[in-house]
Amino acid sequence: MVELNHGAEIATHFTPTERRVTLLRGEVTFQVAKESKKPFIVAVGDVQMRALGTRFNVRCDTQEVQVTVLEGKVRVIIPADPTAGRAEGSRQDLDAGQRMVVALHPSP
């Protein structure tokens, strides 16, 4: 289930092996059923969030993406970006009640 806040925009791409949503702008809350053979991934720029059977909120603007886990667990995957102070890529699992803010790489 997807709840789009006013002005939010998404693009979806579902295949037999993956459920992918790209958040283009705004704020969205997702409630996702766990399906190990078909992961649910939300992308904002080069940052990805992989739901692990959960309910979570993602908000983005031109400078950052904020992820708040309401239930369950979400894996945040952040690629290396020296211009944003990230020499190496990383991943972090967030549990219910946790929040993470990641700076986005500006578009050219």
> Over 80: is that where the pLDDT of 94 sits?
yes
pTM of the model: 0.87
**Residue-range domain boundaries for the chain:** 2-103
> Over 90: is that where the pLDDT of 101 sits?
yes
Rounded Cα distance between 92 and 38, Å, is 20
Q: Name the CATH code of domain 2-103 (choices 2.60.120.1440, 3.40.50.720, 3.40.50.970, 3.90.550.10).
A: 2.60.120.1440
Q: Cβ of 45: how many Cβ atoms within 10 Å?
A: 19
Task: Please work out, in degrees rounded to the nearest 5, the angle formed at the alpha carbon of residue 7 by the alpha carbons of 57 and 91.
Answer: 30
Give 37-92 pLDDT, tens digit per residue: 899 999 998 899 999 889 999 999 888 999 999 999 999 998 887 666 666 788 99
Rounded Cα distance between 106 and 53, Å, is 31
